[in-house]
Amino acid sequence: MLFNGVALYTAERSFGALRETAGWVRDSQRAENLVEHVYRLTVDAETGQRGYLLTGDSTFLEPYSRARDQIGDKLKQLRELTADNPAQVSQLATISALLATRFEQMERTIALKREQRDGAIRDFLLSREGNVTMDSLRLALGGMAAEALRQHERRLQAFTDNLETVRLGFLVELGINVFLVVLGVAFLAQELNRRRREIRDAQQAGAHLAMAVQERTAELTELSHYLQRLQEDDKSKIAREIHDDLGGTLAAAKINLQLLADKIAPEHAQQPRIARIMAGIDEAVRMKRRIIESLRPTVLDSLGIGPALKWQCAQFSSRWGTPCRVELDDENLRLSPDYSTTFYRIAQEALTNISKYAKAKNVVVSLRQHGDDWVLRIADDGVGIDTATPHNPSAHGVVSMRERARALHGVFSIEGKAGRGTVIEVSVRIDPRAAD
């Protein structure tokens, strides 16, 4: 920047000097021309005067009068142009004086001619006074022309020197600019490389992060699958134990009580009490069945996912009074426990949510085949889930449905429209070998 400023300043100064010297050169040229012009005017005046003296015809005086009129103006111009050169100033003073003398001489002879005093004219010519003045004038004009020429050459030299300075300045400026451009390009290239490196590093870091996230998600999915399986196994174990131990105990208690009732008379005072205990045992058996069914529905293991969904829907309808329809592509579909449990638990959570939030009038549960995929769909016509509201961290139903689907590499979706219900869909590709 500083270099450029200095170079520009120098160039501007040199240009100014160049313009000035060009003006001087022009002035010297004009001075040379003016000296020449003054000489020609004087010669023209002499020729006219001579013609008049010889013929007496006044038309010959026309170039003389023109020269006399113009010469003053030319001298004035010459004075202005040479005012700064003392040698020319003094030369011009001599020339002016000689010109005045010469014109005065010519004027005198012309007047003599007008008066027809040819003798006096002859005397004057013979005196060679005019020739002497004219020779001196020619000499003075020649001197001035020579001085003008010398000055012209001096100024031309100065002009050439200035031109050289400007050229040099221009070259320096050009050099600086080329250097700056090269420097700029090098800097830009370096910057570009740095950015490229940064982007590449960021991309690599992003790719690593994405991979880490993917690996961690897969691990978590695997873990959640494992935990769900554990949970299902635990539930099955508890259900079996309740069935075997509690069931056996209750059955034994009922048989013993029946034996006791048979042993005492029907009208015995303890019979109503025995009947109440019997009713209590029956209630305990029903409760045991309900607990077992909720832990691990026997219908799922014995009849398969279709009937299990139907049983679940029937339970929902009878409990909440909301009609629940089941649509199945295959009534007798048998799936391996992983798949049937996943569908069953997702339907269970969806129906629980409908009972809690939907205020639905109708519910439809369907299990349909789309190519190799089986799609479980639970649709209600209730208030509709608002998927835009942030996830409540203490709510696990939807998250666990999604996790169950993911554990089987399935696709889960939940969509709701305000006032038009909620639809949950789980699509799972079922390997034919996974079917029971």
DSSP string, 35-69: HHHHHHHHHHHHHHHHHHHHH--GGGHHHHHHHHH
Q: Can you tell me whether residue 101 is helix, strand or coil?
A: helix
- 92 contacts which partner out of ligand ATP, Mg ion, none, CB within 5 to 8 A by kind? none
Selected binder of ligand ATP within 243, 397, 411, 429 (CB under 6 A): 397
Selected binder of Mg ion within 88, 109, 162, 353 (CB under 5 A): 353
CA distance 423 to 430: 22
Q: If binding is defined by CB under 6 A, does position 415 make contact with ligand ATP?
A: no
Q: How far is the CB of 347 from ligand ATP (least distance, A)?
A: 12
Helix (H) or strand (E) holding 411: strand 411-417
Q: Can you tell me whether residue 392 is helix, strand or coil?
A: coil
Q: If binding is defined by CB under 6 A, does position 396 make contact with ligand ATP?
A: yes
- Those residues whose C-beta lies under 8 Å from the C-beta of residue 235, and which sit 6 or more positions away, are 295, 296
CB 434 within 8 A of CB 335: yes
- 228 contacts which partner out of ligand ATP, Mg ion, none, CB within 5 to 8 A by kind? none
Binding part of the chain for ligand ATP, among 9-17, 55-63, 67-75, 349-357 by CB under 6 A, reads 349-357
Binding part of the chain for Mg ion, among 231-239, 269-277, 353-361, 371-379 by CB under 5 A, reads 353-361
- 383 contacts which partner out of Mg ion, ligand ATP, none, CB within 5 to 8 A by kind? ligand ATP
CA distance 264 to 184: 115
CA distance 30 to 22: 12
Q: How far is the CB of 307 from ligand ATP (least distance, A)?
A: 24
Q: Specify which residues 427 forms β-bridges with.
A: 375, 411
Q: Which is nearer to ligand ATP, 209 or 399 (CB)?
A: 399
Selected binder of ligand ATP within 7, 121, 354, 407 (CB under 6 A): 354
Q: Whose CA is closest to 424, among 406, 407, 408, 402?
A: 402
Q: How far is the CB of 392 from ligand ATP (least distance, A)?
A: 6
CA distance 366 to 435: 19
Residue 362 DSSP label? -
- 354 contacts which partner out of ligand ATP, Mg ion, none, CB within 5 to 8 A by kind? ligand ATP
Q: Whose CA is closest to 408, among 348, 350, 337?
A: 337
**Distance, CA of 97 to chain centre:** 83
Binding part of the chain for Mg ion, among 12-20, 148-156, 272-280, 391-399 by CB under 5 A, reads 391-399
- Spatial strand order of the sheet with 324-328 comes to 324-328, 363-370, 373-380, 421-429, 411-417
Q: If binding is defined by CB under 6 A, does position 357 make contact with ligand ATP?
A: yes
CA distance 353 to 360: 11
Q: If binding is defined by CB under 5 A, does position 247 make contact with Mg ion?
A: no
DSSP string, 114-149: HTT-HHHHHHHHHHTHHHHHHHHHHHHHHHHHHHHH
- 232 contacts which partner out of Mg ion, ligand ATP, none, CB within 5 to 8 A by kind? none
Q: Which is nearer to ligand ATP, 109 or 348 (CB)?
A: 348
CA distance 133 to 136: 5
- 239 contacts which partner out of Mg ion, ligand ATP, none, CB within 5 to 8 A by kind? none
Q: How far is the CB of 417 from ligand ATP (least distance, A)?
A: 11
Q: Which is nearer to Mg ion, 95 or 385 (CB)?
A: 385
Q: How far is the CB of 219 from ligand ATP (least distance, A)?
A: 23
Going residue by residue from 374 to 393, which x/- string records binding to ligand ATP, judged by CB under 6 A? ------x-xxxx------x-
Q: If binding is defined by CB under 6 A, does position 224 make contact with ligand ATP?
A: no
Selected binder of Mg ion within 143, 247, 337, 397 (CB under 5 A): 397
- Those residues whose C-beta lies under 8 Å from the C-beta of residue 50, and which sit 6 or more positions away, are 60
- 28 contacts which partner out of Mg ion, ligand ATP, none, CB within 5 to 8 A by kind? none
- Residues lying near Mg ion in the complex (CB under 5 A): 353, 397
- Residues lying near ligand ATP in the complex (CB under 6 A): 353-354, 356-358, 380, 382-385, 392, 395-398, 422
